[in-house]
C-alpha cells in the first residue's frame, strides 16, 4: 500500500480543482482496506475523481484513494460474468466485455467512473443503467467490520442512487456483472455510436464532472437553464457550459467555492422561475 503526505489531489478530480489533503492512502487489496478502517473510520473516500466537487483547497484529513489501484478484473467465461474490484474503471469493464465477446456493458463505455462509483450512483445513460447488468456486490460494513455480499435485488438500485448511497458506513470492494454472448463487431459499433452521441452533446474541451443535477420528473435541466439565459454564465473560474447547460466547466483555476456558488445561483433561479428544487447529482466533499 502506498502512502503520501500532503498529497496533491488536482489530478485526482476531473474538475481539476487545486486541492491537497493531509495524507493519502492507496490500498492494493482487501486486507489493506480492512487494516486501514480497523484503525479509524473517518477517512474521505475518493474514487476515479468524477462526479464530485472538492470544496476545499486543503483538507486536514486523510483520504483513501481508489484510482489506478485496487483495480483487478477477472473474466469468467463459463458464466459470462466479469468480476471487478471497486477501483477499476467501468471503461475497462466495457472493453474487457468487448474483448471477450460479451454484450450488455456497451452503455458503460465512455462513462467516466470507477466501478465503486458506478454502483453507488447506479450510473447509466439512455442506453442502460448499472442495475441492468449488476449481479452482486461485495462490501465492507464499517459498523461491525464484516465483509458481506448483496445480490442485485437487495441493492435498492434506483435512478442515481442505491443501498450504498443510503448507507454511508459501507465500502464497496468488488462487483459482479452478468453479461451475454454477442458479436464483437456489433458490440464495438454500439460502443462507438454511444461515444459519438455523448461527445456531440457534452463539453469535452474544459474540465468538468458530468451532469451537475439530477433530472427532475417530467423536466430536463438543460432547457430550463437555457430559458433563464444562464448558458455561459460565470462565477470565478466556473462556467455554465456553452455546449450543454446541464454541465459546469472549469474555464481556468476554478475553486470548489466558485462551483458551489454557481450551483446555488442556478438552483435559486430555477426555483424562482419553475418552482423546482434542483438536486445536485455530484458528491460534495
Residuewise pLDDT in 10s, the chain (285 residues)? 999 999 999 999 999 999 999 999 999 999 999 999 999 999 999 999 999 999 999 999 999 999 999 999 999 878 999 999 999 999 999 999 999 999 999 999 988 999 999 999 999 888 899 999 999 999 999 999 999 999 999 999 998 899 999 999 999 999 999 999 999 999 999 999 988 888 888 998 999 999 999 999 989 999 999 999 999 999 999 999 999 999 999 999 999 999 999 999 999 999 999 999 999 999 999
Only one residue has cell 474555464, namely 251
pTM: predicted TM-score of the whole model, two decimal places? 0.92
In a 3-state reduction of DSSP, which class is residue 261? Answer: helix
Which regions of the chain carry the CATH code 3.30.43.10? 2-65
Q: Which CATH number fits domain 2-65: 3.40.50.720, 3.60.20.30, 3.90.470.20, 3.30.43.10?
A: 3.30.43.10
Contact 48, 113 (CB under 8 A): yes
Paired with 74 in beta bridges are 83
DSSP 174-221: EEEEE-EE--HHHHHHHHHHHHHHHHHHS--SS-EEEE-BPPPTT--H
Which regions of the chain carry the CATH code 3.90.78.10? 204-284
Q: Report how far residue 249's alpha carbon sits from residue 259's, in angstroms, rounded to the nearest whole number.
A: 9
Q: Which fold does the domain 204-284 belong to in CATH? A: 3.90.78
Give the pLDDT confidence score for residue 28 in this predicted structure. Answer: 98
Which regions of the chain carry the CATH code 3.30.465.10? 73-199
Give the count of beta carbons closer than 10 Å to the beta carbon of residue 94.
24
Q: Known catalytic residues? A: 160, 211, 281
CA geometry: angle 173, 175, 178, nearest 5 deg: 170
Burial 154-175 (b: 16+ CB within 10 A, else e): ebebeebebbbbeeeebbbbbb
Q: Which CATH class is domain 73-199?
A: alpha beta
Amino acid at each position: 500500500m502506498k502512502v503520501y503526505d500532503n498529497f496533491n489531489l488536482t489530478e485526482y478530480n476531473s474538475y481539476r480543482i487545486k486541492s491537497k489533503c493531509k495524507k493519502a492512502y492507496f490500498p492494493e487489496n482487501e486486507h489493506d482496506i480492512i487494516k486501514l478502517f480497523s484503525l479509524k473510520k473517518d477517512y474521505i473516500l475518493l474514487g476515479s475523481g468524477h462526479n464530485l466537487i472538492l470544496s476545499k483547497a486543503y483538507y486536514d484529513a486523510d483520504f483513501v484513494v481508489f484510482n489506478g489501484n485496487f483495480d483487478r478484473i477477472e473474466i469468467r467465461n463459463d458464466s459470462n460474468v466479469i468480476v471487478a474490484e471497486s477501483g477499476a474503471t467501468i471503461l475497462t469493464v466495457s472493453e474487457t466485455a468487448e474483448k471477450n465477446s460479451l454484450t450488455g456493458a456497451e452503455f458503460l463505455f465512455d462513462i467516466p467512473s470507477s466501478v465503486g462509483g458506478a454502483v453507488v450512483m447506479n450510473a447509466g445513460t439512455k442506453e442502460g443503467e448499472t442495475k441492468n447488468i449488476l449481479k452482486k456486490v461485495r462490501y465492507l460494513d464499517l459498523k461491525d467490520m464484516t465483509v458481506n455480499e448483496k445480490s442485485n435485488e437487495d441493492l435498492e438500485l434506483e435512478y442515481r442512487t442505491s443501498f450504498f448511497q443510503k448507507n454511508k458506513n459501507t465500502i464497496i470492494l468488488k462487483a459482479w456483472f452478468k453479461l451475454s454472448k454477442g458479436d464483437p463487431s456489433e458490440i464495438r459499433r454500439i460502443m462507438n455510436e454511444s461515444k459519438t452521441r455523448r461527445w456531440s452533446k457534452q463539453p469535452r474541451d474544459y474540465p468538468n464532472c458530468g451532469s451537475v443535477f439530477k433530472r427532475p420528473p417530467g423536466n430536463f435541466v438543460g432547457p430550463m437553464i437555457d430559458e433563464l439565459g444562464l448558458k455561459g454564465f460565470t462565477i470565478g473560474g466556473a462556467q455554465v457550459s456553452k455546449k450543454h447547460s446541464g454541465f459546469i466547466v472549469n474555464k481556468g483555476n476554478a475553486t470548489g467555492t466558485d462551483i458551489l456558488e454557481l450551483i446555488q445561483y442556478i438552483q435559486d433561479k430555477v426555483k424562482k422561475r419553475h418552482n423546482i428544487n434542483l438536486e445536485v447529482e455530484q458528491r460534495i466533499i
